[in-house]
Structure 1
């Protein structure tokens, strides 16, 4: 019965392909077009549109092995990983599906045939569970499955057990497709469970933490859709969705009681044993660490390969938590230096053929994990010292203030603090932690500008006309000054306040779109609106009384300024930019933030590498192409659930959308029926143009890094885009005139001049290299210099560093541009190296990575090179940030 994991996967797929099922490759861990999910957590995610009746496939039966992560949201296994031998954050789910084809009889019969006939599992050890009925939920028993089990298999009726909705009704989220299910369980024998984790109950099926009776296969019969009100509605057709945990069945077929005692995990365990000099199976604490590190390395490798990069928001934060949890458990194995990234090649070697994307992106994945490890390691040891000091004195609880400090200062996710506390028999004051977090958010919000969040008693504003721009009459209800809402009195000329009206056409800043500007005209005067804020449901018109005296109760004429038209151009262009980036860079691109104003638009998105000039040109071309064909921009108001069903719909993860919600579709008048994955369609509450031609012209101004794995594009449209190109043209003509060549030959002439200068510098007596300082970082350990030189000779660059070292400079990084690209040299004082505070070889790699190169050397002196000279300013900034972070400096 013992089989390799490769055999198990192949035999499962072949069994169902032989029965008319089409093999479908695994979908991405990023759920396609489903903002309700953090990660793909089941095989059926990619078929959700079929179950809802909004999509079709060219096949009626499907089979696959789907990669899944359960580490957040409704299905979250993160805290269990390591402490038992069956939970994982990342796993494969083997599954077979029927889309309106076969139903319960075939699903039950084939599952039994594969388990007992092909794989030879003992029939007398298998059990089935079904829904016995759930009166509070309004569901009767699944009599069809109850009758089918002994009819289409040789499982005795007495081993078909009945449970309620908590065990035998399956739904993948709070809303969406669902239905009754029947599960197949196996009895692994008395020795498989010591009962210590469920002492109050005897071993049995569906007894939590029982290791003897475990679920193998879940057969879900999807017939309903649960809407947002909780109501169950019949689906257009009945479907089958099954899930068989790959790692679990591999363990069972090998006679193992642990998923980690199979060839799925054995290569990772062997690598860790060799690396750490610790034996797996030797002690409980280290065994937990082995399992955590092995599982988390798999989760991070696959997630990052699919475009989920560590960050402080949404999916990225979950991956960051997983990485940091693994790094902390690495300490229990004696690992104090970055090492998790070294597991990625082991995983690729084992699974790269089945999932080729991890092989294609191995370099990016390894680099991303290492950078995250290096970043966390800087604070991990200090944070652990703080925790240990407080925990040693604590009676029963770790204070919320400390948990908050560990998060903000040392980067410890609060669940990591809870885990460390539990290991010492302590709890964490989560109420105190949440209080500190709320206070932090208030301070941050206050620091961001207008401070109205603390004002109470603000009335609701009728802003239903905010998408129109013509004048409208309104009444002054009051105004906010400081932290007070004033409902009577007057504002003399020159007074600054935030006026509250009963209704308005001004758009309050939200969803990335800045607030409108304009005016409120009243008898004998005018209030100039400089900004519009939204606090709850109240619209605040922030500005100054330009003429006259404004009184409470005054009738005013509300007039939105002409800048709104430019903002609308930029907002629609932002949607097209989002669409174009996914077309050019890949489906992993996710919006990470945006600011849309009248002058320009700014769009942040997830992408690990700098966008090349060629890619930017293609992004720009695709956007302008859609402007030239003059497509319609359609605005629909739809129920949230219906909007989410639209194929290709984009939504900002974590954003809370109203119900009904506005849907913006470009190029199709009926996104519900006609949209494809190539249609720019988004959930959005902002203001937009009516046709793409009204945008006029789209031009990218800059592309840069704003955080690890997050890029930013700034662009202009319309008149601003024309002015920007005109300025570029004027500059080019001026430079060409100075060089006395046509504009077309300017670049060639500059290259020739650079060669001449280089030859002149090689002449005897040309002089020593000069250092041009870009950044000076003052640190407690001395001064750090970052800058450039005109000489790219490594000996000359080392001389520069030696000269500054003799002057007492603690660290120095110098870069030069030559024929072959960029050359970088770094120097770090020996005292800093010995103290473990900084190393030249690590520092130089930070800069080299930005310019597309690599390097190394000694801890005190190192060199590197790269090809992308245009990225040198960004590389120097990265070098500054790194040394400032390591040494605690400013500048």
Structure 2
């Protein structure tokens, strides 16, 4: 059989399950936006979580896909392993097939066997399976049913009992769970198989006897007391690691040797001028022992991380400083660091790999092709930024090593290493590498202590304790918020939540008009009310396809009937702003072009924010055109068109705009206002006239290729207009009610600029005069020119003066200048290079001691340092102390 390519293998999986009545669904976005328990999709089942939990109807009941996943946080954190072995990845694909209340164990096992043996032509003799051995303490018997079905295909000695750790899957401490059956393949040589039976190596970490497929039989519900009850609907959930499967079918020793990664690695070779040696680390704990192993690790890291970041950006998650954005930035910076250190790439180059990568993956994932330019721009900007950080960190580290050398130390303080990491993003292993090259070590223990303290602070700040759900009434929630702002309801369940010593409660209602925060639109506020009491709902979140209502206290009688009432003032204002973002999206495309894709939004009652792809600053005239289009649509009072439960393909045919990075079901809701037509599940105004007026207040850059517009609507525009009116009135009063206010202000600015130029000329003349006088008065001590003085000059002039003195006396110079400005003292020290090199003087070290006399501190480079303080009276003494410390 001809060797299959990775794309052919992926397609064969989909075609096979399509032939078995499965609907082939697209991969969900890798970045999860509306589930507070997860940042990234880390398993194939994530997108079906609401179905498995029973909060969404399972139609269709048979599905299959190739799901893009990311495992870099929480318990699924493979990041530091990537590159050091042959099989760990940050981003990977998971092939999977599901049945929701349709077929169960027999069909799932038969399908898996047929695909592996009949389609992929694997040798049945090389296959082993595991089944759950049972758990007597929980009253769970061995999974004899699965074992019997496997006996149709395999001899008994190829069926192995597995323990709870390996063969019982659980969603969490509570919720759906069940036994699972793993399929393992023995790809060793015939000689090795003859020596040791494959069954003895299953789940023993042998690299040639590996699990390729896991079939989960969800049939139980784990309750909060730990007991199990039958699940209302049996679920089949299977997962097969795509990269691992390709490696096995292509007969490679490493996932990185397959055609998934080799085209990218070859491009890295071409760009870097280095060769990939197909090595794996030979040292302990996956550490490289020679230069080739280091190069190979770096190439694997770059190839893996580049695709993880590319997929994230395609799913609208940009690198950033918080949450998911920080994780993506950390992945990219790790790749840059390896390329910088081991591939000698001192300029951005990872973005240059995208064309090769997208050529291979673009057909399977068209979002990569559509977003190619944006992905490249974002990656390049991030590379450039971090490379500047690396240079800055190297300079700081060089200064620190100079000081250590002067003090006779050989170990870098762990606190200093952590400061480099925390403030400048300078990784510990690079700090250690540079220190080692210069004969220094790093206090790793102290670094780890600092890191742990920071983690503890973060944990204490962010820890959220969720209690168990208390079920008052069985049933599922119905959202009625599109049609009602008030509705009768009962509480289905509630739980207690504690965060930062604050306690609140989360409620799930059987009927709710409250919109849960989603898609950038804030959640509703309001009240639960009956004849006995009123409970404030302070916020509404979205979790597992249902609205979660946040309250500060529980009702006295939680099982009573209530009326759920939305705060309509806030709802209407938020709805108007949301509708305004749709009009803004339409107008931007009209003015700037169809390339403008929404990349994020925030909509509240007070303001709106809209991020979109565009590769240059939007001009004032373009912004004015956008405003005109939006306000014209507002004046037309266009009615809202709403199309619920529209089949996905029909919605696309209507011209509805879909967003990259969003997960859509088989049926969607479409919202239109005249020519604006979008997929949307949010709350909107009944007509555009309800917006009132629209005004852009700022336009800025968020990241490479991403612009942000902030705007106001309705009464908030009025308030801004009144504030602007007050400002203009005040300015007129300041300028004697000048008729040509703009001209008068421009004249004042011109006069001010001219005066500044004259003052700067005078300042520079003063600097030269003082510097010349100090040079003339320099004393000679043991062959060294000593310049010292206290002058009434500002910090900038003090710095210029000592540099002018150094120009006049380039050798054997010790210059100490005290200065005072606005009742603040300053100390400046300048040394000639020979005093630093030959006499091992250090201005930074000297100034730290001398600055104590002005109750201050500072630092700088070995040849120049400055320190500020609080005590003006101590300046003269500080100058004398600095000369004394020079030890002439």
1:363 aligned counterpart, secondary structure: helix
Note the alpha carbon deviations across 1:446-499, whole angstroms, 9 max, x for none.
xxxxxxxxxxx999999x9x96899xxxxxxxxxxxxxxxxxxxxxxxxxxxxx
Q: CA deviation at 1:217?
A: 0.7
Q: Which residue of 2 aligns with 1:219?
A: 215
Mapped pair 1:432 → 2:447: no
Deviation per CA, 1:144-194: give whole Å up to 9, x if none. Answer: 2122211x31x222222222232123346677654322111112327999x
Corresponding residue for 1:166?
165
1:211 Cα deviation (Å)? Answer: 1.3
Change in Cα spacing, 1:437 to 1:94, as seen in structure 2 (3 Å) is closer
Superimposed CA distance per residue, residues 828-870 of structure 1 (whole angstroms, 9 cap, x where no aligned partner): xxxxxxxxxxxxxxxxxxxxxxxxxxxxxxxxxxxxxxxxxxx
Aligned counterparts, 1:296-695, within 5 A? 296-331=305-340, 332-384=342-394, 401-412=415-426, 429-435=447-453, 600-601=606-607, 603=609, 678-680=680-682
Contact 2:389/2:424 (8 A) holds in 1: yes
Residues 575 and 37 from structure 1, CA distance in 2 versus in 1: closer, same or farther, beyond 3 angstroms? farther
Residue 286 (1) aligns with residue 299 (2): no
2:178 corresponds to: 179
1:576 CA displacement: 5.9
Q: Cα–Cα, structure 1 residues 130 and 263, in superposed 2: closer, same or farther, change >3 Å?
A: same
CA gap 1:346/1:132 in 2 versus in 1, 3 angstroms: same
The Cα shift of 1:35 comes to 3.4
Structure 1: distance between partners of 2:413 and 2:399: 13
Looking at structure 2, the residues matched to 729 and 590 of structure 1 have their Cα atoms a distance apart, in angstroms, of: 34
Structure 1 residues 507 and 680, CA gap change in structure 2 (3 angstroms):
closer
Deviation at 1:268, TM superposition (A): 0.8
CA distance in 1 between partners of 2:229 and 2:410 (Å): 49
Q: How far off its partner does 1:705 sit? A: 2.6
In the TM superposition, residue 346 of structure 1 has moved relative to its aligned partner by 0.8
Given that residues 413 and 443 in structure 2 are in contact (C-alpha distance below 8 angstroms), is that contact kept between their aligned partners in structure 1?
A: no
**Contact map agreement 1:128 1:159 (CA 8 A) in 2:** yes
- When residues 678 and 306 of structure 1 are mapped into structure 2, their CA distance, relative to the original with a 3 A threshold, is same
Question: Residue in 2 aligned with 1:748?
Answer: none
Aligned residue-pair number: 582
Q: Which of the numbers 186, 190, 203 marks the counterpart of 1:206?
A: 203
In 2, distance between residues paired with 1:130 and 1:173?
A: 21
Please state how far the C-alpha of 1:269 moved relative to its aligned partner. 1.2
Preserved contact between residue 185 and residue 216 of structure 1 (Cα < 8 Å): yes
What is the Cα deviation at residue 304 of structure 1? 0.7
Q: Judge conservation of contact 1:698–1:718 (CA < 8 Å) in 2.
A: yes
Q: Distance in 2 between matches of 1:257 and 1:247?
A: 12
Moved more, 392-401 or 348-357: 392-401
Alpha-carbon distance in structure 2 between the residues aligned to 1:104 and 1:397:
61
Task: Give the whole-Å Cα distance in 2 for the aligned partners of 1:135 and 1:415.
Answer: 48
CA contact (8 A) 2:694 2:714 kept: no
Secondary structure of the corresponding residue to residue 36 of structure 1: coil
Aligned counterparts of 1:83 and 1:617: Cα–Cα separation in 2: 57
Pair 714,107 (structure 1): closer, same or farther in 2 beyond 3 Å: same
- The answer to whether the 8 Å contact 2:627/2:696 transfers is no
Q: Displacement, 1:207?
A: 3.0
Structure 1 residues 667 and 697, CA gap change in structure 2 (3 angstroms): farther
CA distance in 2, matches of 1:110, 1:349: 32
Contact 1:627 1:696 (8 Å CA) reproduced: no
Matched, 1:697 2:703: no
* Displacement of 1:625: 10
Give the 3-state SS of the residue equivalent to 1:429 in structure 2.
helix
Rate the CA distance shift 1:575–1:50 in 2: closer, same or farther, 3 A: same
Cα distance in 1 for residues equivalent to 2:460 and 2:21: 58
Question: What pairs with 1:185-200 in structure 2 (closer than 5 Å)?
Answer: 185-189=184-188
1:10 lines up with 2:11 in the alignment: yes
TM-aligned CA deviation for residue 381 of structure 1 = 3.4
Distance 1:298 1:468, change over 3 A: closer
Please give the alpha-carbon distance, in whole angstroms, between the structure 2 residues aligned to 1:398 and 1:54: 55
With over 3 angstroms needed to count, the CA separation of the structure-2 counterparts of 1:190 and 1:174, relative to structure 1, is farther
* Alpha carbons 2:608, 2:710 under 8 Å: kept: yes
Cα 1:401–1:458 shift into 2, 3 Å: same
Match of 2:493 in 1: none
Aligned to 2:774: none
Counterpart for residue 246 of structure 1? 242
CA distance in 2, matches of 1:16, 1:323: 36
| Shift in Å, 1:100 | 1.7
1:236 Cα offset (Å): 3.5
Which residue in the other structure is 1:272 paired with? 268
1:122 and 2:132 equivalent?
A: no
C-alpha distance 356-667 of structure 1, shift in aligned 2 (>3 A): closer
Asked if 1:43 corresponds to 2:44, the answer is yes
- Secondary structure at the residue paired with 2:240? strand
Within-5 A mapping of 1:842-861: none
Paired residues of 1:601 and 1:714 also in contact (CA < 8 A): yes
Tell me the distance in 2 between the aligned counterparts of 1:621 and 1:204.
72
Structure 1 residue matching 2:201: 3-state secondary structure: coil
Alpha carbons 2:138, 2:227 under 8 Å: kept: no
Q: Which residue, out of 235, 252, 255, partners 1:259?
A: 255
Q: CA RMSD in A?
A: 5.6
Partner SS state of residue 39, structure 1: coil
C-alpha distance in structure 2 between counterparts of 1:510 and 1:397, whole Å: 53
Match of 1:517 in 2: none
Distance change >3 Å, CA 267–CA 221, structure 1 → 2:
same
* C-alpha contact 1:705 1:712 (8 A) present in aligned 2: yes
CA displacement at 1:301 relative to structure 2: 1.2
Partner residue, 1:78: 79
CA–CA distance in structure 2, aligned partners of residues 577 and 138 of structure 1: 58
**Secondary structure of 1:264's match?**
coil
Question: Closer, same or farther in 2 for the Cα pair 1:17/1:167, shift >3 Å?
Answer: same
- State the distance in 2 between where 1:258 and 1:299 align: 19
Contact 2:432 2:442 in 1 (8 A): no
Following the alignment from structure 2 to structure 1, what is the Cα–Cα distance between the partners of residues 67 and 160? 29
CA separation in 2, counterparts of 1:69 and 1:677?
Answer: 26
Q: Distance in 2 between matches of 1:13 and 1:334?
A: 42
Larger Rg: 2
Aligned equivalents of 1:574, 1:298: Cα separation in 2: 36
SS of residue matched to 1:679: coil
Please give the secondary structure, in 2, of the residue aligned with 1:64: strand
Q: Which TM-score applies when normalising by structure 2?
A: 0.55
Q: Is the alpha carbon distance of 1:248 and 1:619 closer, same or farther for their aligned partners in structure 2, counting shifts above 3 Å?
A: farther
Partner SS for 1:704: strand
**Is contact 1:130-1:162 (8 Å) kept?**
yes
Contiguous gaps of at least 5 residues in structure 2 = 193-198, 280-291, 462-499, 508-524, 542-550, 554-566, 590-594, 643-658, 663-668, 672-677, 728-752, 758-763, 765-888
What corresponds to 1:767 in structure 2? none
State the secondary structure of the residue aligned to 2:31: coil
CA deviation profile, 1:619-669 (whole Å, cap 9, x unmatched): 8899999997799xxxxxxxxxxxxxxxxxx9xx9xxxxxxxxxxxx999x
